Amino acid sequence: MRRGNSAHQIRIIGGKWRGRKISFRTDEEVRPTPDRVRETLFNWLAMDLDGATCLELFAGSGVLSLEALSRRASHVTLVDRSANVCRQLDLTVTALGAPDDCQTICHSTAEAFLTDNSSSFDIVFLDPPFHGTMLTTLEPLLPSILSADSIVYVETGTIPPDSFAGLPVYRSKRAGAVHYALYRH
């Protein structure tokens, strides 16, 4: 989405920051997950969020991680290749009052982060640009950062595959042009 150097807002729909609006940059390729999709996703994840460590690759607005943190995830790592997006994410977590020890913002490509990272995550959010082949590129790198009971969320412009990163599809749905799926053991 490119609309000049401005910011738009999206609201957090649940948890301690319910109703709070967060700003995101529109001069970068940022496409926040729509409210309707997030509501379904976080209903699916309701029992898995408490104390979870989450990774959001292609963070953009950061709304998936911030929604998870709002709903009692213990730590979120937000990764984006744009320095401008990372600066906006830093402003957003500060405005929300998120403690420093529960969030990490990394200026990196998704591929470099997965290659250089040694941590594991309980929930991984993957919402790359709909054009391109980033899901195919990242899929073989994901198993190295998944914990035993990890969940992977994939948002795409096409029908998601039946398995991803060695995990079978658990749930999937479509909302307009957005196809999304959860993968877990």
Q: How far apart are CA 32 and CA 1, in angstroms?
A: 10
Q: What is the pLDDT along the chain (185 residues), one digit of tens a residue?
A: 333 444 588 899 999 999 999 888 665 567 778 788 999 999 999 999 999 999 999 998 899 999 999 999 999 999 999 999 999 999 999 999 998 899 999 999 999 999 999 899 999 999 888 777 889 999 999 999 998 899 999 999 899 999 999 999 999 999 988 899 999 98
Per-residue model confidence (pLDDT) at position 25: 66
- Which domains occur in the chain, in start order? 7-184 (3.40.50.150)
Report the relative pairing of strands 163-164 and 167-175 from DSSP bridges. Answer: antiparallel
